[in-house]
Amino acid sequence: MLKKQNHNIFLPNLLITAVFIILLFFVARDFLINSRVKEFFSESLYSQALENAALNHVRRFGKLPDAGFSKPKKTTTVLITAYSSEIWQTDSTPRITASGSTVHHGVVASNFLPIGTRLRIPEIFGSDVFIVQDRMNERYWKHIDVWMEDTQKAKQFGAQLQTVEIF
């Protein structure tokens, strides 16, 4: 004789109802949050924020104050020479520095200072600021080589023992 199986229909219905209630909760929650945000940021506030953002983008501040230079971190005496962009004075790329920039007034080569170090040589160049952007032959250690456009001026510069302000 076959036994009658008792299927419980209640459990699957309960599961479907629970999933439906959870989904309804998330949809209602998102709807309530979005309506509150829209209430909080009304159209006028939103348009005013856009105008302010546009003004900030193009607003001019005029001439900013010059911060000047602080006192040098270190002062030292070194041998200073000059070089120009001649192949016999440089490597195979005479106008490109070790840092990858193109040579210009204010570039110096040095092995004892990190690339990017700012310095002044007040006895010769006054308040001009130089930046270490190049390297020298490794046999030159505590030495600074100032780049000059004119080879003749670089030769005339010679070698000078000078005080250097390092920032």
> How far, in Å, CA of 49 to CA of 3, rounded?
74
Q: What is the pLDDT of residue 155?
A: 92
The confidence score (pLDDT) of residue 114 equals: 94
Gap between the Cα atoms of 84 and 94, Å rounded: 8
- Say whether 10 sits in a helix, a strand or coil: helix
Q: Measuring CA to CA, which residue among 95, 165, 97 is closest to residue 135? A: 97
Architecture of 74-166 per CATH? Answer: Beta Barrel (2.40)
The reply to whether the predicted model has a pTM over 0.95 is no
Residues 38 and 42: their CA atoms lie apart, in Å, by 6
Residue ranges covered by each domain of the chain: 8-64, 74-166
Mean pLDDT of 42-69: 54
Give CA separation, 77 vs 130, 162, 165, in Å: 16, 5, 9
| Whole-number pLDDT of residue 19 | 81
pLDDT at 99 over 60: yes
